[in-house]
């Protein structure tokens, strides 16, 4: 019969079993008051042996806890995207065409897309691997930033390519759920400024559903000046075949633009307040 020394990483060190009556247990202490394991490998310190027989020092790395979570990068990126897309949706400026769609698509990929994705990945790594962030509420922030960033990659690319946006309506169902989850978590945690942000995001994705499927949309009649100009074109000419210019009134898109602008301005305030609070120890509400 043989016994293995408990707590020793070297399981090859075995010795014959000895009765506890013949050899009473001894409690010896090593340096620093730590209990001696009785193993020569452990007594030499935290030393391991590689397959070639060379000793290598084992080192444990611990990261210091930080209060500098980079949430302002996500705030600013998303707010910039909202303030670019919102005026076009609410006021029709600039008027949408292929060139404008390519421009807004590029901005959507990089600012709300990339900035939020980087923030979300950083938060997840700091919470789960490095353990340099300890606040559990940041887990919800990591989920939101990562998911919102990835979906902005898709929305920006679809806008750039001129793709059909009806699938965005189905996407908005899932992101409405995440937004409501953020409202519940952050208001319960006492972080009311972020709770207000997620309330705005909830409005964004509910509006996105109606906007994508054009629920309640109607075609507006052409302006009077346009009708008169068309009627003056002589019949039989090429110009007479042009139909009067009509526009589509989509209440869901107008509501989406409104929530984009309002939520974007709130994101700019959160960026401003949080940066001043961390950098200069200001005490602005929401910082």
Q: Which residue has the tokens 């705005």?
A: 200
Query: What was the pLDDT predicted at 195?
Result: 97
Range of the structural domain that residue 42 is part of: 1-58
Same domain for 19 and 105, yes or no, is: no
What would the pLDDT profile of 51-74 be if each residue is shown by its tens digit? 555 556 777 777 788 888 999 999
Same domain for 158 and 270, yes or no, is: yes
What string of DSSP letters covers 245-272? P-EEE-HHHHHHHHHHHHHHHHHHHHHH
Q: Residue 26: CB partners within 8 Å, gap ≥ 6?
A: none
- 283 found inside a domain: no
CATH code assigned at 123: 1.25.40
Same domain for 53 and 138, yes or no, is: no
- 264 found inside a domain: yes
Please list the ranges in the chain whose pLDDT falls under 70: 1-56, 222-246
Number of Cβ atoms within 10 Å of the Cβ of 84: 17
- 54 found inside a domain: yes
What would the pLDDT profile of 170-214 be if each residue is shown by its tens digit? 999 999 999 999 999 999 999 999 999 999 999 999 999 999 999
- 284 found inside a domain: no
Domain boundary among 37, 58, 79: 58
Domain boundary among 58, 84, 102: 58
Same domain for 270 and 159, yes or no, is: yes
Same domain for 79 and 3, yes or no, is: no
Same domain for 118 and 153, yes or no, is: yes
Same domain for 33 and 78, yes or no, is: no
- 234 found inside a domain: no
CA–CA distances in Å: residue 178 to residues 134, 145, 163, 231, 258: 22, 11, 25, 52, 20
Residues listed for the chain: 287
Same domain for 47 and 97, yes or no, is: no
- 200 found inside a domain: yes
Same domain for 78 and 44, yes or no, is: no
- 240 found inside a domain: no
- Are residues 41 and 8 in contact, defined by beta-carbon separation less than 8 angstroms? yes
Q: How many domains does the chain have?
A: 2
- Are residues 273 and 237 in contact, defined by beta-carbon separation less than 8 angstroms? no
Query: What was the pLDDT predicted at 220?
Result: 76
Q: Which residue has the tokens 């908005």?
A: 172
Same domain for 40 and 158, yes or no, is: no
């Amino acid at each position: 019969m043989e016994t293995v020394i408990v707590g020793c990483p070297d399981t090859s060190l075995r010795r014959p079993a000895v009765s506890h009556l013949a050899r009473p247990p001894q409690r010896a202490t090593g340096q620093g008051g730590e209990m001696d394991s009785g193993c020569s490998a452990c007594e030499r310190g935290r030393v391991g042996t590689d397959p070639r027989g060379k000793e290598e020092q084992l080192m444990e790395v611990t990261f210091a806890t930080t209060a500098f979570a980079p949430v302002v990068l996500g705030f600013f990126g998303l707010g910039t995207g909202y303030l670019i897309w919102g005026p076009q949706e609410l006021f029709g400026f600039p008027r949408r065409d292929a060139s404008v769609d390519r421009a807004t698509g590029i901005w959507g990929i990089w600012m709300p897309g990339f900035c939020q994705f980087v923030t979300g990945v950083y938060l997840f790594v700091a919470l789960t691997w490095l353990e340099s962030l300890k606040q559990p509420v940041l887990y919800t922030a990591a989920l939101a930033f990562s998911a919102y960033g990835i979906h902005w990659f898709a929305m920006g690319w679809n806008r750039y390519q001129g793709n059909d946006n009806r699938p965005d309506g189905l996407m908005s169902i899932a992101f409405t759920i995440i937004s409501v989850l953020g409202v519940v978590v952050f208001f319960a945690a006492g972080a009311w400024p972020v709770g207000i942000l997620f309330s705005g995001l909830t409005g964004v994705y509910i509006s996105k559903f109606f906007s994508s499927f054009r629920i309640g949309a109607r075609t507006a009649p052409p302006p009077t000046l346009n009708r008169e100009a068309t009627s003056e074109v002589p019949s039989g000419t090429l110009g007479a075949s042009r139909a009067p210019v009509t526009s589509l009134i989509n209440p869901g898109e107008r509501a989406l633009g409104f929530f984009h602008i309002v939520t974007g301005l709130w994101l700019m305030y959160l960026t401003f307040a949080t940066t001043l609070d961390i950098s200069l120890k200001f005490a602005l509400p929401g910082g």
